[in-house]
Structure formats: C-alpha cells, structure tokens
Amino acid sequence: MPKKMVVIFGALNILWMVFAASQAFKIEISPESKIVAQIGASISLTCSTTGCESPSFSWRTQIDSPLNGKVKNEETMSTLIMDPVSFGNEHSYLCTATCGTSKAEKGIQVHVYSFPKDPEIHLSGPLEVGKPITVKCLVPDVYPFDRLEIEMWKGDRHLKNEEFLEPMETKSLETKSLEVTFTPTNEDTGKELACQAKLHIDEIDGEPRERETTKKLQVYISPKNTVISVNPSTRLQESGSVTMTCTSEGLPAPQIFWSKKLDNGSLQLLSENATLTLIAMRMEDSGIYVCEGVNLVGKNVKEVELIVQEKLFTVEISPGPQIAAQIGDSVVLTCGVTGCESPSFSWRTQTDSSLSGKVRSNGTTSTLTLSPVSFENEHSYLCTVTCGHKKKEKGIKVDVYSFSRDPEIEMSSLLVDGNLINISCKVPNVYPSDRLEIELLKGESIMKKKTFLVDGHKKSLETKSLEMTFIPTTEDTGKVLVCRAKLHIDEMEFELKQRQSTQTLHVNVAPRNTTILVPFSILEKGSSVNMTCSSNGLPAVNILWSRQLNNEDLQLSKNTILTLLSTKMENSGTYLCERINQAGISRKEVKLIIQIAPKDINLTAFPSESVKEGDTVTIFCTCGNVPQTWIILKKKAEAGDTVLKSTNGAYTIHKAQLEDAGVYECESKNEIGFQLTSITLDVKGRENNKDYFSPELLVLYCASSLMIPAIGMIIYFARKANMKGSYSLVEAQKSKV
Ligand SMILES: *[C@@H]1O[C@H](CO)[C@@H](O)[C@H](O)[C@H]1NC(C)=O
Ligand SMILES: *[C@@H]1O[C@H](CO)[C@@H](O)[C@H](O)[C@H]1NC(C)=O
Ligand SMILES: *[C@@H]1O[C@H](CO)[C@@H](O)[C@H](O)[C@H]1NC(C)=O
Ligand SMILES: *[C@@H]1O[C@H](CO)[C@@H](O)[C@H](O)[C@H]1NC(C)=O
Ligand SMILES: *[C@@H]1O[C@H](CO)[C@@H](O)[C@H](O)[C@H]1NC(C)=O
Ligand SMILES: *[C@@H]1O[C@H](CO)[C@@H](O)[C@H](O)[C@H]1NC(C)=O
Ligand SMILES: *[C@@H]1O[C@H](CO)[C@@H](O)[C@H](O)[C@H]1NC(C)=O
C-alpha cells in the first residue's frame, strides 16, 4: 500500500505577523500562508487591505531575490502574478501595505512541483513465452522527486515499487524510472501491466497527485512448424502449374512470405499469400522455393524444391522408319503426337522437293497420302511437329519398288528330246532392277542364276530376263521348271519379295527310225502288196502316205498300211511315208518296182557270125520288154567270163582277131526272171588264103527254154532284207552277183 505522507508546510513556514498601528487597518493575503503550484502553471497571490482608503503595497521575497512575477495594484488590492510558475518562484513572499504611517505585512510560502505526464511503459522487446523481458516505467519531468513513488503491477500482482529518497542537489525536473524483469507465460496474455506514479504532496489541489499507465500484455509465440503442401507434385511438367500452401504456427499468426532462392543465395519475394500458385512453369523455374512464417517475435523457414521437367511430347511416324512402297499402290504415312494437345504439323522431303502427296492433319495426327506411289515418292519424308515453342522432327524413308507380276517362262520352241532349246524367264516391270535376282530351277536344282547391274541413274520400270539353253531329254518329262524372281530389298518388309512361275515339262520325241515294211519291193505286175509304215515318237504321230511324181507328191493314205491291189506298171515309183508330230517329221521312202519277166531275148552279129580277121563285127542283144541296161553281154572263156562293155546292147569289134572268136552270151534278168542266149563268132585267118576263109558261123542261141524262174530267189532276198527292217534293191542285187 502506498505510504501516505503528510507534510505540514507550516513547519517550514515562518509566519510573519506585523500588527498595524491602527486596529482598523488590516491586511489579508490569499491564498493563506502557502500555495503549491505546478511548474508551468499560472498563479496569483493577492494582498488586500481594509481600513485604509489608499494604501501602498510592496512585495518582496524573504531572501531578497527577484520576485519573478508581476505586480498589479488596484486601490486596496495588490496582485502578484507568476506566469509561468518556475523554480524561481519557490520562495516566501511578503506583501507590505502602508497606510499613512501604519504598516501592515503578510507573508505567503510558495512551493512548486512538477508531475505533468502519465508514466511511460517501455518493453525491452515483444513478449515471448519463456523469454525474460525487462519492463521500464518512466515518469518524466518530476519535481520534487523525493516525493515520488513508482509502483508496478501485473494484473493484481504487485511487481515492484520504489521511492526516490536520495537528496536533491539542485532544483531540476528529473525523469525517474523503475525497471522490472519477468518471464512471460502464456497466461500473461490479456493481463494488464500497470505503472503507478505518486507524488506525495498533500496540498496539491485539482491537479493529479497520482498518475497511472496500463498496458495490456500480449505474449507472442515465434513461428514454428512451418509446413508446405504442394499440389499436385514438386515434379511437374513444363507449362504445368502447381499450387503450394504454407502454414506456420505462432502468435500472432505468422505472416507467410513466399520467395524463390536465387543462384547467389538471395531471396526474391514472390507473394505474401499463404497460397502460391505458379502457372505456365518453364524449366528455368525449377529451384528452391522458400516459405517464411514471420511474426513479431521471429520467423520459421521451410524450403521446397520444384523440378520442372521438359515437357515430353513424342512424335511417332508410321508405318516405320523405312518403308517399301510399290509403284501404283497407295501408301499412307502417319505422323502422330502424344503429349501435346494442339500440335502443328508440316511435311517436307529431305531434298526439299515437292511432296507428291496429300497432307491431312487432324488433332494429334497428320497423314501424308501417296497415291499412286510413283518414282517421285522415293524420298526421305520428314514430319515436323511444333508444340508450343518446341519442335520435333521424325523421318521416314520411302523406297519405291515395282514387282507386280510373276515371271513369265518362255521357250523358243517345243520341247523336243535332244533338241537344244532356249528358255527365258522374264520379269516385267521391275524396279530397282539391280536388286533383282532370277533363278531357273529344274525340280530342286538350280540351273542358272542371274543378277543385274545398275544401268544408269534413270528411274524406270524395266523388264529383265534370264536366258539359257537347254537340251531336254525324255527323263525331264514330268519335272517342274521353276522361274523364281527375288527382289532383294532386305532393309524392309513388303508382301512379295519373291515371285515364281512353274511349268511342268513335257518333252516331245520327234518321230524317228521310221521304217516301211514291204514284203517285196519288186513285184510282178498284177500282184498286191501291203506296205506298213512305223516309227516311234511322242506324242503319237500322224501318218501320211504319198507317191512322188515328177513335180508333186500325190497323197494316198493316212493309214499305217498302204495297200496296192493288182499292181500295174504305172504303180512303180517312189512311195513316201511321213510320220509327223509337233516335234518333228520323219520320212522314209520306198521304191516299188512292178515288173514283168524278161522275154524275147535276141542276140545277133552283124554283118555275120563268121568274119575274117580284120573285119568289123557288131554284136546286138535285145530283150523285148526289158531296158537295155538290164542286159549283160559276156564272152565266155575257160578262165572266166568277160563282161563286155556294150552300148544299148550293142558291142562292136573293130578289126576282129582270131582270139575274138568264141561264144558270146547275152543275159537279161530282173527280179521276176531271166533269159539267156548265146552265139558263136567265127574269125577266119587271112594266111594261106585262110584270110579269105568265110567266117565261121557264130552260133547264136537264144535259150528261152533255159529261162529260170527267179521268183523264188527274190523271195529269199526280200526276207533277208526284212529282218534288217529295210530292203535295198542294190543290196539284193549285190548279194545275187
Ligand atoms: C543476386 O542476384 C540478383 C539478380 O540475379 C540481384 O538482384 C541481387 O542483388 C543479388 N544479390 C546478391 C546478394 O548478390
Ligand atoms: C491469397 O490468395 C487467396 C486465394 O488465392 C485470395 O482469396 C486472397 O485474397 C489472397 N490474399 C492476399 C493477401 O493476397
Ligand atoms: C478429325 O477427327 C475426328 C475424330 O478423330 C473426326 O470426328 C473429325 O471429323 C475429323 N475432322 C476432319 C476435318 O477430318
Ligand atoms: C537360241 O539362242 C541363240 C542365241 O541367243 C540363237 O543363236 C539360237 O538360234 C537360239 N536357238 C533357238 C532354238 O531358238
Ligand atoms: C533309231 O535310229 C538311231 C540312228 O538314227 C539308232 O541309233 C537307234 O538304235 C534306232 N532305234 C531303234 C529302236 O531302232
Ligand atoms: C494285206 O492286208 C490285208 C489286211 O490287213 C489282208 O487282208 C490282205 O490279204 C493283205 N494282202 C497281202 C498281199 O498280203
Ligand atoms: C532277131 O533279130 C534279127 C535282126 O534284128 C531279126 O531278123 C530276127 O528275125 C530276130 N529273131 C527273132 C526270133 O525275133
């Protein structure tokens, strides 16, 4: 409790009482005896008299120091005005009034004080739970401070009080203070911190003797438990957005600051909002973001690292990095994008030539249609996709080819056993022909293989072929000839890289070894004959019988057997049998002779059969129906017969010698029969008149009776010939000789 102290100014007061000579003359002063005046205020002391009409007044201080006031006299009153009151006014003032000879005097004590302001409370810092704090209470401009008491309260708890009893050296206004240190707790919030200052001067009227200042306590909590939540993730894609919310606990509620940590470590303030939304993130926005929870008493920092990943949009081109497109076909190249909502497309060729195709783009795909595929499409096509400010390119190489038809097997002619044949395997409309390989196989075995070189740079469809010669045999029949064409474009897949054609071999056999079977080729007039023609060959052969006439062939029959009935002489001649099939033709001729037996043989000598040595004699031989050539003239001799060289059956002996005499024989024969006759030539010598001897008679005999039917012999020869499959007249004649 404040100690109440009453100081009686009277104890210090010296009462000046001067009694006036006249009872009637009286002096009064107001206020009475003393006044306590605040420095800076204004006071007036009034001295008044009674019992005198015009008194005179004088004022002075007891120690004769200056009045420090203004005097104002009015008939029976004098006023001393101090304005403003200062330390120079703390005196005992005397007012003397003189009325004639009478004098009256009254004194008054003036005390000064200063207590103009409420105390000031100063905290050394914000209040924080658990952290000692010093509170200072200042009481400014106090006088006299030895009367001052300062007291501090926290709520209803007294903290400290102090009096300032040390001696005052000088009169001055002083500021006094009281310091208290305490440790705040949570419960202190809301309590009042009070500072009471009291100036213990009872006489103070009107003005406060007690001043109090209060301060409501606010205890703070430094930010803590700062937490960042990131939505959707700290890892995001370019152009994506992220929302980060930061919370921090503390009292007062911390304010949130979002910043980004720069490379040099300094922070760049982004927001003062707890929720930070970042949109359209770029890769360079990656980095450490800092949330600071800040309040009066501190801050708490939390960091989060955001990683902005390059947006992965991908471009796919189909059907593949390289395709083979057949000329004339339709091919669609598709460029598709994933990871980009509205890409823009552009197509070009690597050599910047015209696209030669139709582009159609829709949403995330773009197609380039090449229809029909042509040589102009042999390019590397590039699809460029632009997504935002990013670009990506993918290429596809289009190789064109042409391989639309199966190979064609061609043979120069019919397959004939043993005949050389040219086989060609043709592959039409090929491109690129330098990738072509043609194989020709018989059954499983390769007969020939061929590849082709590039010829020039011109792009064109070409027809390539493989040729070979081949001699087929009958064993080849039934075997399969295969022409296989391969287009070696290994780098890529396409439907048909190989095409083949087959042909089953049928080897023909040309008719051969044609034979004509004739029982007799020389026939007696009137007889009949069957001539049979035969041969082998594949396929089956046709037969044509004809007879050769002078300038044309007379067709007779298409049967195997040609029958001649009751032959006439005119039937003699050459008969031809032709056997024909696709593979060839084979002919055989047979000479048929229709004869009659020789008769009427006539051998004569001219001029006579008896001549003289030195004469000329001609021997004639004729045989009715037989040509001269069939007549043989011989001279018989023991040593052997001499065949005479006759012309048309005539033989002339010039200058006949004795030795020319003898038997001359004429023979006419054919296959049917023969006749033989002879004469004897007589040559007479000329010596002893013998020269002129009549020539000896040449005995000419025409031995028709000796004619031997020869038919039996002919049959013999004919049979013999048949066994050999042919019959030759010449052979037969030779054998007979
Ligand atoms: C850090 O860099 C930024 C700009 O990049 C600059 O404004 C800032 O002054 C720098 N701070 C320091 C501490 O170098
Ligand atoms: C903080 O952000 C929220 C939502 O975005 C908004 O409603 C609020 O006004 C913002 N506060 C300040 C201080 O910007
Ligand atoms: C684009 O494609 C969508 C569906 O994929 C289709 O409905 C639309 O008709 C197409 N637009 C054009 C111009 O082809
Ligand atoms: C086969 O071809 C060669 C040369 O190419 C030619 O001389 C010959 O006559 C041809 N043979 C046939 C049967 O076509
Ligand atoms: C056919 O004639 C040829 C000669 O031309 C001969 O070598 C072959 O043996 C003959 N074949 C037959 C069955 O007579
Ligand atoms: C010829 O053949 C036919 C029938 O094949 C036969 O009737 C006839 O007697 C034959 N003629 C001769 C002369 O062999
Ligand atoms: C043979 O020929 C001669 C002369 O040409 C002729 O005089 C004679 O009559 C002939 N004899 C016969 C039998 O025909």
Q: What is the pLDDT of residues 374-405, one digit of tens each?
A: 999 999 999 999 988 889 999 999 989 999 89
* Residue 522 shares a structural domain with residue 613: no
Confidence of residue 595 (pLDDT cuts 50, 70, 90): confident
Q: Which residues of 511-538 are buried (b: 16+ CB within 10 A; e: fewer)?
A: beebbbbbebbbbbeeeebebebbbebb
Does any ligand 7 atom lie closer than 6 A to the CB of residue 604? Answer: yes
pLDDT of residue 697: 31
Query: Could you tell me whether strands 219-231 and 127-128 are parallel, antiparallel, or unpaired per DSSP bridges?
Result: parallel
Residue 129's alpha-carbon distances to 93, 123, 217, 223, 698, in angstroms, are 58, 14, 12, 12, 191
Task: Say what the pTM is.
Answer: 0.48
Q: Domain end: 309, 339, 367, which one?
A: 309
CATH of residue 484? 2.60.40.10
Instruction: Read off the pLDDT band of 24 (50, 70, 90).
Output: confident
Does one domain contain both 397 and 409? Answer: no
Pick the atom of ligand 5 nearest to 725's CA.
14
Average pLDDT over residues 660-665: 91
Domain-located, residue 19: no
> Does 1 reside within a domain?
no
Query: Do 703 and 630 reside in the same domain of the chain?
Result: yes
| Count: domains in the chain | 7
Tell me, yes or no, whether 691 lies in a domain: yes
Q: Clarify whether residues 335 and 413 are in a common domain.
A: no
Average pLDDT, the chain: 84
Kindly provide the b/e burial profile for residues 622-641, where b requires at least 16 CB atoms within 10 angstroms of the residue's own CB.
bbeebeeebbbbbbeeeeee
The boundaries of the domain holding residue 609 are 601-722
Q: What is the mean pLDDT of residues 399-418?
A: 91
Residues 108 and 124 in one domain: no
Same domain, 271 and 354: no
Q: Are residues 700 and 674 in the same domain?
A: yes
Could you tell me the pLDDT band of residue 492, with boundaries at 50, 70 and 90? low
Query: For atom 8 of ligand 4, which residue has the closest CA?
Result: 422
Pocket of ligand 1 contains residue 689 by CB under 6 Å? no
Strand pairing class (192-199; 148-154)? antiparallel
Last residue of one domain, picked from the residues 347, 381, 401: 401
Residues 627 and 696 in one domain: yes
Ligand 2 centroid to 286 CA: how many Å?
Answer: 24
Residue 16 forms part of a structural domain: no
Indicate which residue's Cα is closest to atom 1 of ligand 1.
264
Q: Does residue 589 contact residue 548 with C-beta atoms inside 8 Å?
A: yes
Domain-located, residue 730: no
Same domain (yes/no): 361, 382: yes
| pLDDT tens digits along 686-735 | 765 444 433 333 333 333 333 333 333 333 343 433 433 333 333 333 33
468 lines ligand 4 (CB under 6 A): no
Based on the fold, state whether residues 250 and 359 are members of the same structural domain: no
Give distance in angstroms: CA of 716 to centre of ligand 6.
20
Q: Tell how far the Cα of 534 is from the centroid of ligand 6, in angstroms.
A: 17
Q: Verify that 283 and 373 share a domain, yes or no.
A: no
Supply 713's token pair. Answer: 């012999």
Q: Does residue 433 share a domain with residue 536?
A: no
